């Protein structure tokens, strides 16, 4: 998540600099647009990071079970696990969850969101979008 967060914030701020510098007749300074871009960033990242924090909390419980019936059940499930047909009792073994977690293109998502945001901001301030 930290790498994605850094890539997204870097992409958004870089896109802002590029868009602002190529805008025709910029009426707003770039510093006035930082807070709105940070709001855009928060909107993009909040849901995804919340989901992953919840997954980490669940893993904490799963991986740190004290010796006993729950731990024995977990160990049996792991020993007998059939990756192709088994139920997905724990998110970390759910292949769809893993595809979403590991295959998500956060920079592409940020790029699309920035284009939409900038086209709105640009038209409100008398700019044309450079994207």
Q: Which DSSP string do the residues of 74-104 spell out, in sequence order? A: HHHHHHH--TTT----SGGG-HHHHHHHHH-
**What residues does each domain of the chain span?**
2-124
Nearest to 63 by CA among 94, 87, 43, 90: 90
Judged on CB neighbours under 10 Å (0-12, 13-18, 19+), 118 is buried
Q: Which residue has the tokens 């990242």?
A: 45
- Read off the pLDDT of each residue in 53-76 and give the average, rounded to a whole number: 88
Give the up-direction half-sphere exposure of residue 29: CA atoms within 13 A in the CB hemisphere.
Answer: 2
Higher model confidence: residue 53 or residue 22? Answer: 53
Give the per-residue pLDDT at 36.
95
Q: Is 0.85 surpassed by the pTM of this model? A: no
Indicate whether 126 pLDDT > 50: no
Label residue 68 left, alpha or beta by phi (over 0 means left) and psi (-120 to 50 means alpha). Answer: left
Asked if residue 128 has pLDDT above 60, the reply is: no
DSSP label of 12 = H
Tell me, what's the pLDDT at 39? 97
Asked if residue 48 has pLDDT above 50, the reply is yes
Predicted pLDDT at 102: 86
User: What is the rounded CA–CA span in Å between residue 56 and residue 66?
Assistant: 18
Indicate the DSSP class of residue 65.
P
pLDDT for 113 equals 97
Give the tens place of pLDDT for each residue, 74-121: 888 788 877 776 556 666 667 777 788 889 999 999 999 999 999 988
pLDDT digits (tens, 9 = 90+) for 23-43: 655 566 788 899 999 999 999
Tokens of 66: 């004290």
């Amino acid at each position: 998540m930290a790498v994605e967060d850094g890539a997204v914030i870097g992409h958004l701020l870089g896109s802002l600099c590029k868009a602002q510098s190529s805008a025709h007749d910029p009426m707003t300074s770039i510093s006035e647009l930082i807070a709105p871009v940070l709001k855009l960033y928060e909107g993009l990242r909040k849901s995804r990071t919340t989901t992953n924090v919840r997954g980490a909390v669940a893993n904490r419980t799963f991986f740190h079970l004290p010796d006993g019936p729950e731990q024995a059940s977990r160990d049996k499930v792991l020993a007998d696990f059939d990756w192709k047909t088994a139920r997905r009792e724990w998110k970390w073994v759910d292949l769809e969850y893993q595809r979403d977690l590991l295959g998500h293109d956060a920079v592409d998502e940020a790029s699309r969101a920035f284009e939409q945001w900038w086209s709105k901001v640009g038209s409100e301030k008398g700019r044309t979008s450079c994207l």
